């Protein structure tokens, strides 16, 4: 056991060399401080990037028609591909991985209500669109497009908060009719849009949009989610199969990447995640390297301390002190210095990251200039797990810093001690 006398001896030794102990401890404190701050900055960058994925599924794929760049079976290149409703229906039939799905018709128009008006992009969609793109309805503000709207080709519309504010001022738009061109739409819902963007779209039933704006045929885009497609190889295999079946149906070369556009959020997510993991790994390397520099300083100081106390250790051994008691004395002194100054650095680092986070929240910072929906840096704090890992690193550092000087102290003989000046 470690008794109170040992504590008194350690504090007595520290008091004799206050400046040396402080400077040594400061290097450890600075090392753990930098580690915490760098990890907080890395987390802030990761959180900022991940915040930009908040309104999209991590397994979403969007597909849209383009122009061919290769001839195929006697057909010339530069042909325009046009999607049809069969492509939407075939998604589940041809691909068991497809879960949620929606087709989209796009039409730009001006919405009128009385004397008020605003330009808006009308998107004809299916009910699954809301789940795929995380479109949330405001509480008490109606509903999204449903299956009955699709079947009956209802002239209903879901608008954004900004559109409601412009057209209806301080009134609720729910249940009222707005005019788009010559068509009257009833407002059945207002969806959540924290940014209140002027460019936020409005949603109408796909069947209504197709009949009114696409001559009752075709579509502009397919959106769907996939399950069981997790790795890069599985994603590549799925995309190849998808292009083959679309190529067979629309008569284009499956290897022609220009024929259809495809955006897979899983690829984006994996890329950003790998990049963030690399940054965090680099931060750990730099932070631990700084901490090791402080630990080496503690170890060197402990070696000097052992040399200065050569006679003391020799006398201890001569009067019967066991090697293990001397070993524990030196190691515990090293742990005490490392832990006290390390915790000061850790608490300072956590305090700084929390202060920065509080300042960002209070000022509304963290958004890219001029782009309210894009976040670059958010919540630059460290988790409890990081604090616990740092604690473990400190204890291990103290043991390592004291072990080699302690081993040297144990090897001191009484004769060698008597010769020491």
Q: Which residues pair with 72 in a beta bridge?
A: 75
Measure the CA–CA gap between 97 and 264, rounded to whole angstroms: 14
pLDDT tens string 89-147:
999 999 999 999 999 999 999 999 988 999 899 999 999 999 999 899 999 999 999 99
Tell me: do 239 and 291 sit in the same domain: no
| pLDDT band at residue 369 under the 50/70/90 scheme | very low
Compute the average pLDDT of residues 307-330. Answer: 71
**Any idea which of 163-167, 184-188, 215-219, 393-397 has the lowest mean pLDDT?**
393-397
Compute the average pLDDT of residues 365-374. Answer: 47
Both structure tokens of 318? 């001569």
Tell me: do 256 and 295 sit in the same domain: no
pLDDT for the residue numbered 371: 44
Percent of all residues in the chain with a pLDDT value above 90, rounded to a whole number:
36
Which of helix, strand or coil describes residue 229?
coil
CA atoms within 13 A of residue 390's CA, in its CB half-sphere:
31
pLDDT for the residue numbered 5: 60
Higher-scoring residue by pLDDT: 249, 197: 249
Pick from 215, 234, 266: which residue ends a domain? Answer: 266
pLDDT for the residue numbered 301: 73
Measure the CA–CA gap between 274 and 282, rounded to whole angstroms: 12
Provide the residue range defining the domain that includes 184: 60-266
Tell me: do 257 and 130 sit in the same domain: yes
Tell me: do 248 and 328 sit in the same domain: no
Q: Where are the alpha helices (DSSP H) in 112-204?
A: 128-132, 147-152, 161-168
Pick from 217, 250, 266: which residue ends a domain? Answer: 266
Measure the CA–CA gap between 325 and 398, rounded to whole angstroms: 17
Both structure tokens of 29? 């404190």
pLDDT tens string 331-351:
777 777 777 887 888 888 888
Residue 418 confidence (pLDDT) above 60: no
Number of domains the chain contains: 2
pLDDT for the residue numbered 370: 42
Measure the CA–CA gap between 218 and 81, rounded to whole angstroms: 11
Which of helix, strand or coil describes residue 183?
strand
> Taking the CA atoms of the chain, what radius of gyration do you get in angstroms?
34
């Amino acid at each position: 056991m470690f008794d109170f006398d040992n504590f008194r001896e350690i504090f007595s030794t520290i008091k004799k060399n206050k400046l040396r102990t402080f400077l040594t401890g400061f290097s450890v404190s600075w090392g753990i401080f930098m580690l915490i701050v760098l990890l907080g900055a890395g987390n802030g960058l990761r959180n900022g990037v991940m915040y930009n994925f908040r309104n999209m599924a991590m397994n979403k794929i969007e597909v849209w028609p383009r122009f061919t760049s290769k001839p195929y079976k006697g057909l010339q290149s530069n042909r325009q591909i046009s999607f049809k409703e069969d492509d939407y229906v075939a998604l589940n039939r041809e691909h068991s991985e497809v879960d949620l799905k929606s087709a989209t018709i796009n039409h730009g128009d001006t919405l009128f209500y009385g004397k008020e008006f605003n330009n808006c992009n009308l998107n004809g969609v299916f009910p699954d669109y809301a789940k795929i793109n995380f479109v949330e309805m405001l509480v008490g503000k109606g509903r999204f497009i449903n299956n009955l709207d699709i079947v009956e080709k209802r002239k209903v519309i879901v608008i954004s908060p900004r559109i409601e504010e412009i057209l209806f001022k301080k009134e609720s738009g729910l249940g009222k009719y707005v005019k788009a061109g010559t068509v009257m739409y009833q407002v059945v819902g207002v969806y959540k849009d924290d940014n209140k963007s002027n460019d936020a779209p409005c949603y109408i039933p796909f069947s209504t949009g197709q009949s009114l704006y696409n001559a009752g045929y075709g579509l502009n885009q397919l959106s769907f989610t996939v399950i069981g497609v997790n790795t890069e190889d599985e994603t590549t295999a799925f995309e190849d199969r998808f292009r083959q079946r679309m190529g067979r149906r629309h008569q284009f070369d499956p290897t022609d990447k220009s024929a259809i556009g495809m955006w897979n959020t899983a690829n984006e997510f994996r890329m950003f995640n790998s990049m963030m993991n690399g940054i965090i790994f680099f931060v750990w390397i730099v932070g631990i390297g700084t901490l090791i520099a402080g630990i080496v300083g503690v170890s060197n100081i402990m070696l000097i301390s052992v040399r200065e106390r050569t006679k003391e250790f020799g006398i201890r051994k001569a009067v019967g002190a066991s090697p293990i008691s001397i070993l524990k004395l030196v190691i515990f002194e090293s742990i005490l210095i490392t832990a006290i100054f390390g915790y000061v650095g850790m608490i300072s680092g956590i305090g700084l990251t929390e202060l920065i986070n509080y300042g960002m929240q209070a000022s509304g910072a963290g958004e890219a200039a001029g782009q309210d929906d894009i976040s670059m840096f958010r919540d630059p704090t460290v988790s409890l797990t990081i604090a616990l890992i740092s604690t473990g690193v400190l204890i291990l550092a103290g043991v390592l810093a004291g072990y080699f000087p302690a081993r040297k102290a144990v090897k001191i003989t009484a004769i060698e001690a008597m010769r020491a000046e």
